[in-house]
Structure 1
Amino acid sequence: MDDRKLKILSAVVDEYIVSGEPVGSKAIMAHVKASSATIRNEMAELEKQGYLEQPHTSAGRVPTYKGYRLYVDKLMEQNPLSEEEKNKLDSMLPDDFVTEKDLVESASLALAELTKCATVVANSTPKFSLISKVEVIPTGKRMYVILMITSNGEIKNKVCRLEFDLTNEQLEFFDNFVKQNLNGVPISEISDANMEKLTEAMGAYMMTLSPLVSEVLKMTKELDRSVSLNGQKNLLTCKDLDQTEIISFLDNEKELMAFIDSTFSGLNVMFSPENDGFVIHNSSMITAPFSKDGQMAGALGLIGPMRIDYAKFIPYLEYFTSRITDLISERDDDDNND
């Protein structure tokens, strides 16, 4: 593709992102030095090549997802953030956060507010997360709630129904056993084999308390991958997207993790036509990773129509993930120096 076609395609995408209306040759003349007839011919050629499409015979053209892909990968010029914009983004993050989860959640809410898109937060395998606390709380006859808290702020609870009531002695033994064998252990080290060894180490208490150990193992596996959304209303009020598809998507948030896997290698822009399993047609998802101790710890992203301002929103996303990485590192350094 020659340089003029690339400039025309870029101009069509830029104009369409702003107006939401099919773009004609006259609008492109402000960006490309060529006659209206020449531009029309080039746009027709771009249509044949699959980068543009014409909604109506008499209308201008709009980008296809193939056009967006080339635009994002090769043509887009990102708008660098000014110091004023960086200060504004910083002000939307907490000065002091209790857990890393609080920090990432704040960034997710801020990104949703800025972009008017939905935002997604996903964690990678929590290699750095430790079990901080496991507690068993009796709630009724043979009913117990297991509460687990991790070092990165994750809180999980699970109801466990036993075939018998536990005595105070059994509960006290389990509490002490957990403190000695699980508190401070990385989630990544919790495996079926390790937990089986722990269960056997309970000796006479093994038969009665093994169901609780099994539930703790299940909870750690659930922690292994998690995903959450903010700004869902932004999707539901977006005229470019189908509400029925959005509702179906929101009912299956966990399936998002399959689309985020590639994010952990760097910034990723995904278009719905490229992924059959992504139920919201005419949509896009942009995700970027954040790190802890030099390794990927999770991802932050946004979901909206294909007609979003990539040049503006990608710098927002990259700045937030960069700040999350820096702030986590700064807090860890402060903790180590205390």
Structure 2
Amino acid sequence: MLSKRQENILKMIVLEYIKQAKPVGSKAICKSLNCSSATVRSEMAFLEEAGLLEKTHTSSGRVPSEQGYRYYVDHLMEPKEMSGEDMLKLQIVFKNQSLALSDSLEASLRLISDMTNYTTIVLGKTSHDNILKEIRAVPLDESSIIIILITDKGHVEHKQEKLDHVSLEEVKKSVGLINDIIVGTPIDEISSKLEFEVKPIISRYVKEHEVIYNMFYRVFNEFAKESVNVVGKNKLLMQPEFNDIDKIKTLFNKLDEENILKLSKVSKDDKDINIYIGKENSLDSDVTVIRTNYKRDGEEGSISIIGPKRMEYDRVVTLLEFLKKEIESKGDKDE
């Protein structure tokens, strides 16, 4: 257990290092705490011995260790009030009723990436507890249609398909058969039902049944799969921690879909805001990942912000809390 003075010193070092990206010496702390440099050096040595601070090779000052950041986040971090400018920019995006949720998300993540110089990621998907309510096929012209899927939670997805070697009448007949069989089925189970129940039925009644089956399989597969959007990847280049070309190449290679899906996986232990510092995250030990999950109108997903371990934790947490609230209430408020 740290004393109040030790906590104050650790907090000052964390905040100063986040701000300046330079090791912090005892001189700067003495002025703020009004105590001798010998006392501060002694306390810094204790914090280093406790694994909360580290020495660098290039300076006599100290920097926070992963454990030091974790102690700060868990015990010392205070809520940071959001600036009026940041709030207004994000509110404008979410008050625009003409934007779909996915568009609002992308626009807001670009804003946050620009505000913070960190990388932002959104992982979106149709909620597992959505149940298919209806399928519709709407002709656009003689050679293409839009297939519309509607769930019990009001989530609507549509996909344009070409009518290659198949007539509109056959598509309509197939839609009727498919509705009879899979309406009321959870989204996660549709692919299996298509293959083992729908395919044998439409093969009896529809001439080009393979073409029809493949078309609907594509549509449902697209509907059920998770979508990943990475915004501001190059922002990491602006951080002094990543001025090593080999280090940044390694990190960029890790920002692929497979790693992001692992990183964004929802757990029963998740809190409103989840903070993974260094080795705590599955992406890279040189970064911190701060993530929140959202749920809105049958869609659920997660938003992550990736930056150096020297991240503005309080500001990012405030931004994510605000973003989560705006997403989950989008459309509930009057203009």
What TM-score comes out, normalization by structure 2 length?
0.79
Matched, 1:268 2:274: yes
How far off is 1:307 after superposition? 1.2
Counterpart mapping for 1:125-274 below 5 A:
125-126=126-127, 127-128=129-130, 152=155, 165-166=165-166, 170-171=170-171, 173-174=173-174, 177=177, 187-188=187-188, 190-193=190-193, 195-202=195-202, 204-205=204-205, 208-210=208-210, 212-213=212-213, 216-217=216-217, 220-221=220-221, 223-241=224-242, 242-250=247-255, 252-262=256-266, 265-274=271-280
Distance, in Å, in 2 between the alignment partners of 1:81 and 1:217 is: 45
Q: How does 1:1-338 map to 2 (within 5 A)?
A: 1-3=1-3, 4-56=5-57, 58-81=59-82, 85-126=86-127, 127-128=129-130, 152=155, 165-166=165-166, 170-171=170-171, 173-174=173-174, 177=177, 187-188=187-188, 190-193=190-193, 195-202=195-202, 204-205=204-205, 208-210=208-210, 212-213=212-213, 216-217=216-217, 220-221=220-221, 223-241=224-242, 242-250=247-255, 252-262=256-266, 265-275=271-281, 277-279=282-284, 281-292=285-296, 297-330=300-333
Q: How many residues align?
A: 320
Alpha-carbon distance, 1:212 to partner? 4.2
Q: Note the alpha carbon deviations across 1:168-220, whole angstroms, 9 max, x for none.
A: 65445335555776789763452413652222332524684246435644653
Which region of structure 1 is more displaced relative to structure 2, 194-203 or 238-247? 194-203
Residues 52 and 158 from structure 1, CA distance in 2 versus in 1: closer, same or farther, beyond 3 angstroms?
farther
SS of 1:261's equivalent in the other structure is: coil
- Classify 1:129/1:89 alpha carbon distance in 2 versus 1 (closer, same or farther; 3 Å): farther
Root-mean-square deviation (CA), in Å?
3.7
Change (3 A) 1:216 1:59: farther
Greater Cα offset, 37-46 or 165-174? 165-174
Equivalent pairs: percent with the same residue?
A: 28
Contact 2:94/2:327 (<8 A) preserved:
no
Q: Which runs of 5+ in 2 are unaligned?
A: none
- Cα deviation code 1:134-193 (max 9, x no counterpart): 68999xxxxx99976656576667999x9xx54665445335555776789763452413
- Structure 1 residue runs of 5 or longer lacking an equivalent are 139-143
Query: Residues 320, 132 of structure 1: CA spacing in aligned structure 2 closer, same or farther, 3 A cutoff?
Result: farther
